[in-house]
Amino acid sequence: MSEPRANGPELSVEVWRGRAEGRFQTYRVPLRPSQTVLDVVTYVQRRIDPTLSYRFACRVGMCGSCAMMVNGAPRWTCRTHVARVAKDRRLRLAPLRNLPVIKDLAADMTPFFDKWREAEARFLPSSPRAAATARIPPADPERAAADAAIECIGCGVCHAACDVVAWQPDYLGPAALNRAWTLVNDARDADRRAHLAAVAGDAGCHACHSHQSCATFCPKGLNPTASIAGLKRASALALLAGRL
Partner 1 sequence: MAAAIERLATDVLILGSGGAGLFAALHAHKAAPALDITVAVKGLLGKCGCTRMVQGGYNVALSPEDSVERHFMDTIQGGSWLNHQELAWILVVGAVERVLELENEIGCFFDRNPDGTIHQKAFAGQSFDRTVHKGDLTGIEIIGRLAEQVWARRIGRLEEHRAVALVPAADRSGIAGVLMIDMRSGAFRLIQAKAVLLATGGGPTMYRYHTPSGEKTCDGMAMALRLGLGLRDMEMVQFHPTGLLAGPETRMTGTVLEEGLRGAGGYLLGGDRERFMHRYDSRGERATRDIVSRAMFEEMRRGNVTPNGGLYVQMGHLGPETVRRLFKGMVDRCADCGFDLAGGLVEVVPTAHYMMGGVIFAADTSTAVPGLFAAGEDTGGVHGANRLGGNGVANSTVFGGIAGDVMAPWVAREGRIRDPDETVIDETIERCLVPFRRPAGDANALRDRLAELMWEEVGISRTAAGIRRALARLDGLAEELGRTGVAEAERAFNLTWHDWLNLESLILVSRAIATAALARENSRGAHYREDFPQPGDLATSAYTVVSLRDGRIEVEAQPVAFTRVRPGETLVAGAGVPRAAAAS
From CA 138, how far away is CA 110, in angstroms rounded?
34
Least distance in angstroms from the C-beta of 213 to partner 1:
21
Cβ proximity to partner 1, 36 vs 227, nearer residue? 36
Least distance in angstroms from the C-beta of 239 to partner 1:
25
**Cα 112–chain centre separation:** 9
Cβ proximity to partner 1, 42 vs 236, nearer residue? 42
Least distance in angstroms from the C-beta of 102 to partner 1:
5
Least distance in angstroms from the C-beta of 151 to partner 1:
6
Please state, as a whole number, how many other Cβ atoms lie within 10 Å of the Cβ of residue 142. 14
Least distance in angstroms from the C-beta of 9 to partner 1:
15
Cβ proximity to partner 1, 52 vs 228, nearer residue? 52
Cβ proximity to partner 1, 87 vs 135, nearer residue? 135
Torsion angle defined by CA atoms of residues 77, 71, 46 and 54, in that order, rounded to the nearest 10 degrees: -60
Cβ proximity to partner 1, 83 vs 239, nearer residue? 83
Angle at 201 between CA 199 and CA 203, to 5 degrees: 85
Tell which residue, 26, 28, 40, has the closest CA to residue 3. 28
Tell which residue, 182, 223, 16, has the closest CA to residue 104. 16
Beta bridge partners of 22: 18
Cβ proximity to partner 1, 18 vs 237, nearer residue? 18
Least distance in angstroms from the C-beta of 16 to partner 1:
13
Tell which residue, 73, 124, 121, has the closest CA to residue 96. 73
The answer to whether the CB of 66 falls within 8 A of the CB of 76 is yes
Beginning with the edge strand found earlier in the chain, give each strand of the sheet holding 68-70 in spatial order: 22-30, 10-18, 90-94, 68-70, 73-75
From CA 164, how far away is CA 206, in angstroms rounded?
11
